[in-house]
Structure 1
Amino acid sequence: MKQVAVVESNSNIPNINSSGNDSSVYKRSSFRTNGGYLSSVMGEPCISCTTFNILAPIYKRLDEQNQSLRESDFKESWFKRNQAILDWLLYERSSIICLQEFWVGNEELVRMYQERLGDAGYITFKLARTNNRGDGLLTALHRSCFRVLNYRELLFNDFGDRVAQLVHVQSVVPFLPNQKGGQQEILIVNTHLLFPHDSSLSIVRLHQVYKILQYLEVYQRENKLNNIPIILCGDWNGSKRGHVYKFLRSQGFVSSYDNAHQYTDGDADAHKWVSHRNHRGNICGVDFIWLHNPDNKSRKPLKTSWAEAVFGTIKNQLQKASLAENEAFVFLKADNNGEVITYPAFCEALHQVNLVGQPYGLSFQETNDLWKQADVDGDGVVNYEEFKRMWNSTCSEQIDDTFNDNMETSKEHAEEEVVGFTVKYAFLFPREVEKGLWPENYSLSDHAPLSVVFSPVRMQAS
């Protein structure tokens, strides 16, 4: 696996007076924050978060017959649309704003966002994708809510030139009365995963999530952040039925929108809402705000979850070739006369389903690690029982030293009271998308913004 390049930045942020934009151009029934905070009926403090892929003008097609005609060629068009996006964002005034497809390559647009958000009391961080792709990310945090303790940039340097932002924040005031330790710290991530142009590229998206979670593990360990909530925002370019969703769920993350609406992970609830109409005209739900609370006790070792996600991808590729379980076993063992899969046959099968031997495929080390997970008894071959574990994506939990260190730390603080979050509200705009419909008159973007309100709650550390 390629090393993630990490850029550290100190936050030298000017002192900007806070003022709100009270535009009511979008009249609808929703929450609205006051300086980033929302007070409930009981008067408890809450934080709100919005994630929104705002469709970079360099990607917005204006004519289906002429794909080269883009909005970026017409200043009046992109300027007006982005002013409307800012009107909407400043009307909602979420505590946290995470934008994707932010047109970092246009200085005028960047200045527009920085000035309007800055005047409204936000601290902003922008990050371009690698290889001068033109777009990137913007994360904005309201000063009345947070002070920034650290900001990191994750450059994946991968097939998709994708990046992520990590912001370590502390609340300006304690969330709860008599809160132990005072102000609350939170880790916030903003990212935009690769679009799945081909099913074999799902491995790239799994790589990207794996790198984020790896980095979060290291960052928490290095900074002794044993019990801290994590919020992951972005365009994940995959639905609830995909392997990225299942990977994050196996790591204890909760989809805030699904949690608020009491939707399950099952197929029956997979299409109850949408958030994107892509360039192929398909509508799907790909925008998520993930929450990981410090009390979560179901988290598997990261390497185990990663292996299960990759095995799930292998199974999906084989099923697309109409191979049932027993046929898949025959395919994987290839010409071997015995009823076992050998390592060379395993590697050749991965090559045939485009998961190795590609610029974006599994590395030699990753393939070897997968084999170790599959070969449970360590005898150098995978028999049918071991294959069934792989086929059903249930790996042996070979806990590494890093995970043991984390577990020992957790045991030391087993009775510690910490602050986490419950999901109070979550909504998509426009409201039609919450019913699985895409309104033709919606023009802000090809994505619907997702907003979530979190309420602090006391809980026991795991």
Structure 2
Amino acid sequence: MPIMLCGDWNGSKRGYVYKFLRSQGFESSYDTAHHYTDADAHKWVSHRNHRGNICAVDFIWLLNPDKYRKLLKASWSEAVFSMFKSLLRRASLTESDAFAFLKADNEDCITYSGFCEALRQLNLFGHCYGLSIEETKDLWVQSDIDGNGVLDYKEFQQIWNSTSLELRDDKNEEQDNGSNDAQEQTIGFSVKNAVLFPPEVEKGSWPEDYSLSDHARLTVVFSPIRVSRSQMIC
């Protein structure tokens, strides 16, 4: 069955939520209707916040059965690791520097306590909006591949080389589509049209006389189609 997610995603097209959903095969219906790419973040807006900044944060996401990619638990973990890596890179840490940061005073491995402390310092753990204890333990179990209670450099590289938030290229998409010929058919949706109101936001500006809401109204028209079932990667 196709999946639709609608609402204010509290983040722009440059944010982690957008990248995560795109990595799962979701498409922004407005962008699809207007043939925009992920790089076209400036071409439309849907929200003016209390600071007066305008950005695109309202989406109607569509995931057709032929675009399913990974089970949510696995892909969520990879997304967290990608955020982890991004924050370390933002601090100008290389792969070896990041490993040294995590292992702290230990000679050649990362302990669970060091792992948690690193997450806390990166503001991913230790507060009400961060990772829970259970989620942190689950990430640790997935990282500790050999189950010996510590992470060596090779296991750390599995985290560092996570690419779940990188979108697949057109070549891979074409290969996927070409392999679907013999697969079972099911119902999906195509995007027929999508409009934002007031119309000025479609040009990337916010009208000063618009006081109905601080969010633009997004309307999308879908049409049912036949699609092939995707084989998810476990």
TM-score, normalised to structure 1's length?
A: 0.43
CA positional deviation for 1:432: 2.5
Given that 1:351 and 1:357 are in contact with CA atoms closer than 8 Å, whether structure 2 keeps it comes out as yes
| 1:363 equivalent in alignment to 2:132 | yes
Offset from partner CA, 1:110-154 (integer Å, 9 cap, x none): xxxxxxxxxxxxxxxxxxxxxxxxxxxxxxxxxxxxxxxxxxxxx
Q: 1:328 aligns with which of 87, 98, 101?
A: 98
Identify if the C-alpha distance between structure 1 residues 279 and 387 changes in structure 2 by more than 3 Å, giving closer, same or farther. Answer: same
Q: 2:47 aligns with which of 276, 297, 317?
A: 276
Match of 2:117 in 1: 348
CA positional deviation for 1:304: 1.2
Match of 2:73 in 1: 303
In 2, the alpha carbon distance for the partners of 1:270 and 1:277 equals: 15
CA positional deviation for 1:279: 0.5
Secondary structure at the residue paired with 1:441?
coil
In 2, the alpha carbon distance for the partners of 1:436 and 1:376 equals: 47
In 2, the alpha carbon distance for the partners of 1:262 and 1:379 equals: 49
Given that 1:428 and 1:451 are in contact with CA atoms closer than 8 Å, whether structure 2 keeps it comes out as yes
| 1:292 equivalent in alignment to 2:60 | no
Q: In angstroms, what is the RMSD of aligned CA positions?
A: 2.2
Letter paired with 1:376: I
In 1, the alpha carbon distance for the partners of 2:162 and 2:213 equals: 37
Identify if the C-alpha distance between structure 1 residues 386 and 437 changes in structure 2 by more than 3 Å, giving closer, same or farther. Answer: farther
Secondary structure at the residue paired with 1:232?
strand
Q: 1:417 aligns with which of 185, 200, 204?
A: 185
CA positional deviation for 1:417: 3.0
Q: 1:388 aligns with which of 157, 176, 190?
A: 157
CA positional deviation for 1:283: 1.1
The residue correspondences of 1:11-410 to structure 2 (distance < 5 A) are 228-265=1-38, 268-296=39-67, 298-338=68-108, 340-394=109-163
Q: Which moved more, 1:322-331 or 1:366-375?
A: 322-331
| 1:431 equivalent in alignment to 2:199 | yes
Given that 1:243 and 1:312 are in contact with CA atoms closer than 8 Å, whether structure 2 keeps it comes out as no
CA positional deviation for 1:333: 1.4
Match of 2:209 in 1: 441
CA positional deviation for 1:285: 0.8
In 2, the alpha carbon distance for the partners of 1:254 and 1:344 equals: 38
In 2, the alpha carbon distance for the partners of 1:264 and 1:348 equals: 38
Secondary structure at the residue paired with 1:269?
coil
In 1, the alpha carbon distance for the partners of 2:36 and 2:145 equals: 35
- What is the count of residue pairs matched by the alignment? 213
In 2, the alpha carbon distance for the partners of 1:389 and 1:259 equals: 33
In 1, the alpha carbon distance for the partners of 2:125 and 2:224 equals: 44
In 1, the alpha carbon distance for the partners of 2:148 and 2:33 equals: 47
Given that 1:235 and 1:287 are in contact with CA atoms closer than 8 Å, whether structure 2 keeps it comes out as yes
Given that 2:82 and 2:163 are in contact with CA atoms closer than 8 Å, whether structure 1 keeps it comes out as no
Offset from partner CA, 1:415-453 (integer Å, 9 cap, x none): 543221111111222232223222222222111111111
Letter paired with 1:255: S
Gaps of 5+ in 1: 1-227, 396-413
Richer in strand (by share): 1
Richer in helix (by share): 2
Given that 2:47 and 2:57 are in contact with CA atoms closer than 8 Å, whether structure 1 keeps it comes out as yes
Identify if the C-alpha distance between structure 1 residues 242 and 415 changes in structure 2 by more than 3 Å, giving closer, same or farther. Answer: same
Gaps of 5+ in 2: 165-181
Larger radius of gyration: 1
Q: Which moved more, 1:441-450 or 1:279-288?
A: 441-450
CA positional deviation for 1:256: 0.8
Secondary structure at the residue paired with 1:314?
helix
TM-score, normalised to structure 2's length?
A: 0.81
In 2, the alpha carbon distance for the partners of 1:361 and 1:342 equals: 20
CA positional deviation for 1:346: 0.5
Over the matched positions of the two proteins, sequence identity in percent amounts to 70
Given that 1:229 and 1:292 are in contact with CA atoms closer than 8 Å, whether structure 2 keeps it comes out as yes
In 2, the alpha carbon distance for the partners of 1:324 and 1:359 equals: 29
